[in-house]
Chains A and B, each alone.
Chain A
Amino acid sequence: MVERGTLRVKAGLAEMLKGGVIMDVVNAEQARIAEEAGACAVMALERVPADIRRDGGVARMSDPEKIREIQEAVTIPVMAKCRIGHFAEAQILQALEVDYIDESEVLTPADLEHHVDKWAFDVPFVCGATNLGEALRRISEGAAMIRTKGEAGTGDIVNAVTHMRAVFGAIRRLQAMREDELYAAAKELQAPIELVRWVAEHGRLPVVTFTAGGIATPADASLCMQLGADGVFVGSGIFKSGDPERRARAIVQATTHYLDAKILADVSSGLGEPMVGISASTLPESERLEARGW
């Protein structure tokens, strides 16, 4: 029997992306640069997070024409973002046959209470999380991949580190618990006990876990990988830098050779200007994307 859209098929694509870099691109030319540099997938957007932040206003799903243009330019998987809870945007993205849908806090949320019921789709979803409970709630809604949120469009790695430490640290604490302590842990995490038990037993999330939000240098990518990420999303960090092609190649190499400090030193040399960046701690509460989603 042939089956499509099973969790194994959905989560399986994320397994194939591991150890790789997923790059935000806004047009076919950038998509080709990303593919040429060794990106394992691209995220098709109208504006990178740094520009969304600068422009303000409501950020929505990209124009389908833009997404098609990018799909035609490359052979690697193409992802696209819908607003949190905006299942109609997700239905459109599925009809466009994007390879992954990112239900993303980078766009303006459409629902302040509910996320998309991701089990209802054949296309897999990736969702952001700032801690273990949030990650497990997204997985219970059908997410087939998790990315820690960080603070998109800042070029500041601090929130990405905070969120990875929160998720991976909480997993290690679960592993140390007695079986009968997991019920209280599930209550605290506000996550289903079955998932909590699985995580305690296996010492990882049941789906691939990438890091996003603030990665701007090869060293940032290595830091994330060493902290336990399966791969990285780079948004504004590449195409808002002085020499995107070189930086893209360098971050791809840093993600593979993340433990080899000599290679990291080589690929970090003479990369030109990184994106300027904003210190995440100076952002007013209302501009913090990490707080979107629950």
Chain B
Amino acid sequence: MERWTRIGVLALQGAFREHARVLERLDVAVSEVRLPGDLDGLDALVIPGGESTTIMRLAELYGLDEAIRAFAGPILGTCAGMIVLDREHLDLADLVVERNAYGRQVASFEADVELVDDPRPLRGVFIRAPRIRELGPQVEVLGRLDGDPVLVRDGPLLLASFHPELTDDTRVHERFLSLVRERVVARTPEEVRSR
């Protein structure tokens, strides 16, 4: 991917450095987002795992919640990132997520996620993980664990209830980059000039 593609990682709290590390390995320019102005000029955004209550509180304090709602590019949300994008938080993704649905940390686990379009399983690390309770009709399920959707796409949003940033398998991030690439290629000449 061209280096002029710039992806922001929400760096309020959580595993933002791990996401940045994976993206940099995939040759993408990455910057940290802490305030609304940090979103300017970004092609896409990653909302990492962390504590969703902490991330929401810090986002609201400086108007970052509204700025993310108005953000036009693709967003990757993992674990807490998926929670903050659901109907009951930022209301960008058409789904409802139950927090800590598998229980406390002793119940955290890793397991193979079955991908819809790839026979090779994906090792998923589930930490105090959320579970999708309701899915909107247009949401596409891309990965399942024991039948439950754990990796889904809703238009420009890619959401995982596990932590692809904690393993060496970069397939989730690569899928996100192909989403970003679609959007960047589809840009009109006016949009490109205005950047």
The residues of A with any CB-CB pair to B shorter than 8 Å are 1-6, 8-9, 12-13, 15-20, 35-41, 71, 75-77, 94, 97-100, 122-124, 252-253, 255-257, 260
Interface centre among B105, B111, B127 (most CB of A within 10 A): B105
Number of interface residues of B (CB under 8 A): 38
Instruction: Please state if A122 and B49 are interface contacts (CB–CB under 8 Å).
Output: no
Q: Which of B13, B14, B103, B110 contacts A2 (CB 8 A)?
A: B110
Distance to closest chain B CB from A105 (angstroms)? 23
Q: Which of A5, A16, A75, A77 contacts B49 (CB 8 A)?
A: A16
**A-B CB pair tally, cutoff 8 Å:** 121
**Binary interface profile of B, 3-26, with partner A (CB < 8 Å = 1, else 0)?**
000000001111111100000000
Instruction: Please state if B127 and A18 are interface contacts (CB–CB under 8 Å).
Output: no
Distance to closest chain A CB from B16 (angstroms)? 7
Select from chain A the residue with minimum beta-carbon distance to B18. A15
Distance to closest chain A CB from B194 (angstroms)? 28
A2-B146 Cα distance, complex, nearest whole Å: 11
Instruction: Please state if A19 and B106 are interface contacts (CB–CB under 8 Å).
Output: no
Q: Which of A9, A17, A39 contacts B108 (CB 8 A)?
A: A9
Within 8 A of A (CB), among B5-64: 11-18, 34-35, 49-51, 53-54, 57-58, 61
Select from chain A the residue with minimum beta-carbon distance to B163. A12
Distance to closest chain A CB from B136 (angstroms)? 25
Instruction: Please state if B105 and A17 are interface contacts (CB–CB under 8 Å).
Output: no
Hey, which chain B residues are within 8 Å of A17, CB to CB?
A: 14, 50-51
Instruction: Please state if B109 and A253 are interface contacts (CB–CB under 8 Å).
Output: no
Select from chain A the residue with minimum beta-carbon distance to B12. A256
A70-B103 Cα distance, complex, nearest whole Å: 16
Hey, which chain A residues are within 8 Å of B105, CB to CB?
A: 13, 77, 97-100, 123-124
Q: Which of B12, B61, B106, B110 contacts A97 (CB 8 A)?
A: B106
Any chain A CB within 8 A of the CB of B171?
no
Q: Which of B51, B108, B127 contacts A40 (CB 8 A)?
A: B51
Instruction: Please state if A8 and B50 are interface contacts (CB–CB under 8 Å).
Output: no
A17-B128 Cα distance, complex, nearest whole Å: 12
Interface centre among A18, A40, A99 (most CB of B within 10 A): A18
Any chain A CB within 8 A of the CB of B170?
no
- Since A9-B127, A18-B17, A97-B105 are in contact, a sample of 4 more A-B pairs with Cβ atoms closer than 8 Å, ordered by chain A residue number, is A2-B111, A9-B109, A256-B11, A256-B34
Distance to closest chain A CB from B31 (angstroms)? 13
Hey, which chain B residues are within 8 Å of A255, CB to CB?
A: 13
A186-B70 Cα distance, complex, nearest whole Å: 52
Q: Which of B50, B112, B163, B166 contacts A20 (CB 8 A)?
A: B50
A-B contact pairs, 26 of them (CB 8 A): A1-B112, A4-B108, A8-B167, A9-B125, A12-B125, A12-B166, A13-B105, A15-B49, A16-B14, A16-B15, A16-B51, A16-B79, A18-B14, A19-B50, A37-B57, A38-B53, A38-B54, A40-B54, A77-B51, A77-B128, A98-B105, A99-B105, A122-B106, A253-B58, A256-B13, A256-B58
